[in-house]
Amino acid sequence: MLAGVKVRLAALAACVCCVLTFEMFWVPLQRGLRPEAVEAAAPPPPEASSQRRKW
């Protein structure tokens, strides 16, 4: 039972990360921002992956 709850929480966290990544990268690109500006505004990926592993 607890394993299923952990899997659901991990899946939910992954979905949230995907949505945030989509809004941070795809939406500014559609608005015409340069990729360099988008990359500079993005947080470093290792921190996000370490937070996901804690779940």
pLDDT tens, 10-45? Answer: 998 998 888 888 888 777 777 765 555 555 555 555
Q: State the pLDDT at residue 18.
A: 83
pLDDT of residue 1: 64
> Please, what is the end-to-end C-alpha distance for the chain in angstroms?
16
Tell me what pLDDT residue 2 has.
81
Distance CA 13, CA 15 (A): 5
Q: Are 24 and 40 in contact (CB under 8 A)?
A: no
Q: How far apart are CA 31 and CA 42, in angstroms?
A: 16
